[in-house]
Amino acid sequence: MSPVVMWALVLLVAFNLLLTYGVIRRLNDHESKILDLSRGEEPSTTFGNPAPGFVAPEFTTQTTAGSTIDRSELEEGVRFVGFFSTYCSPCRDELPRFVEFAAGRAEGQVMIVVEGPHDDAADMVGNGSDVTQVVLEPTEGQLKNAFGIDRYPAMLVLQDGVVVKNAATIGQLLVAASATV
């Protein structure tokens, strides 16, 4: 075997080992994230949504019941705000669970914001407005932009108007709710 072929094989084996190391490292990272999620723990990323410490911005909007709500609604005690979109498949699974969660809370403690075409959003919410405040927003709506929501579903736990936890699933929200209430 010529020395050129031998060196080519050595380089090929070294490159293969480097790639294998990278794949194994990536799999270990994913495994730890999957384990965290299976235990209902918050993932290590905020998914681009408001991180703990984010102060709820000023806003004024209308609920489906015709009530006007603003930032002051979030300033006292623990509040939960869920952001969902008609364009989001996981939202269709999580929203009914969030409505069920809201049904067990005090009046005014939970707010649901659904982004998308009005008719689709109203259908998606179903009986949500019977148990809590519901806001339907067009795409790129006021609350979505004010809170900086860029991934759905997004569920926030606020204490006195400040985000203390965020979640992407109802399981994560329940863990956060039990820790803050």
Measuring CA to CA, how many Å separate 133 from each of 73, 109, 173? 11, 9, 18
pLDDT of the residue at 26: 75
Please give the C-alpha separations between residue 66 and each of 38, 47, 71, 133, 137, in angstroms, as whole numbers: 39, 32, 17, 10, 14
Per-residue pLDDT at 84:
93
Report the pLDDT value the prediction gives residue 156, as an integer from 0 to 100: 92
pLDDT of residue 44: 46
Report mean pLDDT in 10-residue bins for the chain, 181 residues: 87 86 73 62 57 89 89 87 91 90 86 88 78 87 88 91 88 76 55
The DSSP output letter for 169 is S
CATH of domain 60-180: 3.40.30.10
Give CA separation, 130 vs 31, 97, 102, 111, 123, in Å: 40, 14, 10, 12, 13
Amino acid identity of residue 138, one-letter, is: P
Give the tokens for residue 78: 């623990």
77, with CB counted inside 10 A (0-12, 13-18, 19+), is middle
Domains of the chain, by residue range, sit at 1-39, 60-180
